């Protein structure tokens, strides 16, 4: 078999491959081949008003909260409240027995009356210069001493009447009539929940975005999607060196008494509106830690532009750096593009088509 007959099938195969490779391609002006234009949708980048927020988790606390306790060792004589009662400032909650103090008070009151009578007689005699000035001073000192002793006993009796220090809701009572209490024995909890304090942590990177008076929105799992609005009151004076976060306290009106101390709540701090360049999230290509978009040039070719993304919201992302107002970028069809590729724009395709190579 000759060499020509051996090479002839191989040459024919090569010709077929070259013919097939040319099908569906276009020639450029220099006789080469290039890929067909990719069908995409584009959009112009323009500044829009952007309102973003800071998210956090917080714990609800009562505006005022205290554990009502006894100050002395004594027996409970009467309990004047029930579990969950709302009480006002000064309401008598518990009375302790104080027979000995009552007897001492009566004795002190009698001594004070006697001292006042003696002082009055001495003052009358002093007017007629029938008593020495030193005797008059002695009577005055005796009257003051008797009054001070009576006030001391009254204060001890006051410790045996336990009152509410502020308006609030009482918890479960921990004593009954006849219970022997000692200093520190808990009577009940008292919480003012008509206004709720909400404390949470915010990363230090948002420190400059926090200021008293900002509106906050809070939600609790107990009430589903119901939003409780409040106001940011205080930003902590220190940043935690371990978590690198700052403590923030907000207040929420709780006139319906729905929120309770200890509840876990999600917090959203609304920041002031600002102008920002925003692109659809599907236009962003993430490669490693770097994000890109495809910018369209005047010759219908695209260039891969590195950008720095900022805040995100549903389906949109803020571009902090890399684009200018008026730039046109590819929105759908980015998965089949490369730097320098030609494009052909079509009408926007319904959401979700991008992942299928629209």
pLDDT given at position 1: 47
In this structure, are strands 343-345 and 38-44 parallel, antiparallel, or unpaired? parallel
- For the stretch 291-323, pLDDT in tens is 988 898 878 888 888 998 887 877 888 888 888
Using 50, 70 and 90 to split pLDDT, how confident is the model at 8?
A: low
pLDDT of residue 108: 76
Q: Taking Cα atoms as reference points, which of 292, 246, 154, 263 lies closest to residue 198?
A: 263
Is 28 or 80 the better-scoring residue by pLDDT?
80
DSSP 283-326: G-EEETTEEEEEEE-TTSBEEEEEEEEEEEETTEEEEEES--TT
Better pLDDT: 107 or 250: 250
- Between 157 and 236, whose confidence is greater? 236
In angstroms, the CA 68 to CA 94 distance is 10
Residue 303, pLDDT score: 86
Distances in Å between the Cα of 56 and the Cα atoms of 172, 247, 280, 312 are 32, 11, 25, 16
Structural domains of the chain, ranges and CATH numbers in brackets? 34-50+275-356 (2.40.420.20), 54-63+193-270 (2.40.30.170), 98-159 (1.10.287.470)
Q: pLDDT value at position 101?
A: 66
Over the range 68-91, which residues count as b (16 or more CB within 10 Å of their CB) and which as e?
bebbeebebeebebeeebebeeee
| Residues 282 and 239 sit within 8 Å (Cβ to Cβ) | no
Please state, rounded to an integer, the average pLDDT across all residues of the chain.
Answer: 81
Q: What mean pLDDT comes out for the span 29-44?
A: 70
pLDDT value for 266: 93
Instruction: Characterize 309-320 residue by residue with b for buried, 16 or more Cβ atoms within 10 angstroms of its Cβ, and e for exposed.
Output: bebeeeebbbbe
54 or 104: which leads in pLDDT: 54
Is the model's pLDDT at 138 over the cut of 50? yes
Residue 147 region by backbone torsions, left for phi larger than 0, else alpha for psi between -120 and 50, else beta: alpha
297: tokens are 């040039």
């Amino acid at each position: 078999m000759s060499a020509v007959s051996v090479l002839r099938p191989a040459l024919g195969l090569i010709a077929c491959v070259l013919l097939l490779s040319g099908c569906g391609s276009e020639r450029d002006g220099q006789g080469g081949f290039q890929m067909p234009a990719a069908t995409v949708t584009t959009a112009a980048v323009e500044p829009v008003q952007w309102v973003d927020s800071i998210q956090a988790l917080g714990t609800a606390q009562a505006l005022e909260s205290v554990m009502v306790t006894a100050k002395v060792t004594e027996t409970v004589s009467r309990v004047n409240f029930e579990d969950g009662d709302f009480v006002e400032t000064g309401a008598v909650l518990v009375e302790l027995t104080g027979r000995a103090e009552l007897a001492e008070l009566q004795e002190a009151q009698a001594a004070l009356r006697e001292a006042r009578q003696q002082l009055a007689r001495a003052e009358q005699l002093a007017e007629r210069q029938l008593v020495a000035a030193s005797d008059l001073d002695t009577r005055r000192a005796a009257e003051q001493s008797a009054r001070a002793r009576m006030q001391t006993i009254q204060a001890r009796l006051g410790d045996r009447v336990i009152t509410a220090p502020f308006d609030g809701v009482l918890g479960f009572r921990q004593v009954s009539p006849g219970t022997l209490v000692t200093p520190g024995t808990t009577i009940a909890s008292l919480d003012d929940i008509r206004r709720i304090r909400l404390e949470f942590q915010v990363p230090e990177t948002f420190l400059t975005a926090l200021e008293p008076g900002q509106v906050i929105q809070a939600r609790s799992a107990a009430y589903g999607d119901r939003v409780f609005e409040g106001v940011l009151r205080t930003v902590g004076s220190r940043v935690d060196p371990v978590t690198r976060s700052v403590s923030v306290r907000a207040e929420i009106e709780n006139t319906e008494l729905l929120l309770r101390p200890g509840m876990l709540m999600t917090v959203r701090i609304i920041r002031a509106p600002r102008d920002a360049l925003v692109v659809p999230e599907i236009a962003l290509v993430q490669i490693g830690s770097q994000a890109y978009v495809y910018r369209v040039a005047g010759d219908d070719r695209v260039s891969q532009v590195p950008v720095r993304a900022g805040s995100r919201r549903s389906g949109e992302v803020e571009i902090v750096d890399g684009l200018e107002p008026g730039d046109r970028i590819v929105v759908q069809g980015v998965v089949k593009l490369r730097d320098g590729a030609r494009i052909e724009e079509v009408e926007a395709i319904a959401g979700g088509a991008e992942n299928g190579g629209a």
